[in-house]
A and B are shown apart, each in its own frame.
Chain A
Amino acid sequence: GQNIDQPTEMTATEGAIVQINCTYQTSGFNGLFWYQQHAGEAPTFLSYNVLDGLEEKGRFSSFLSRSKGYSYLLLKELQMKDSASYLCAVRSSDYKLSFGAGTTVTVRA
């Protein structure tokens, strides 16, 4: 099974940087995903890490350390539209995703 932990809430100011940490314990690792979910909408794919290191996509970056069971999502130059829930998900060897409870990020002006 999977135990996935991420903070419940984070608040930051427009233009700032926020880092959302995710720790996991898994019996078979096959990738870590980050999704963004606005209220009332479906999750939107942000990033996928399967090897250690940093993946950068514009304002969003995701980091993975498999040996530590740790990932983070870095949001730079925060905008009001970035206010959303961010879901960390671990994929197992049978390609099933297990999700953390999600981190609600609130961006303030």
Chain B
Amino acid sequence: DAKTTQPPSMDCAEGRAANLPCNHSTISGNEYVYWYRQIHSQGPPYIIHGLKNNETNEVASLIITEDRKSSTLILPHATLRDTAVYYCIVRVGTSNTGKLIFGQGTTLQVKP
């Protein structure tokens, strides 16, 4: 199973872009990269996912390197409410029961 490595914590100034890196050097060709975030003791909402192309939605952008061994989640204009634990996850399995294995995540602290 491909695993991910994330820095344990990061700080970001409010209003600035938050760039959260993730390494997944053992990712295989048919595995997707997913990002979720968790605010204290709540279920982690989905943010974004991608395979090899960069993706953007109303919340964030996902930049995946050409070799797919790493990716970066970008929150374009971080707010205090973006303070949370962010999980980068590689989709495991090739069946419809593909499961998500969580790593330790990055605790992002957005400061005023």
Asked if A pairs with B, the answer is no
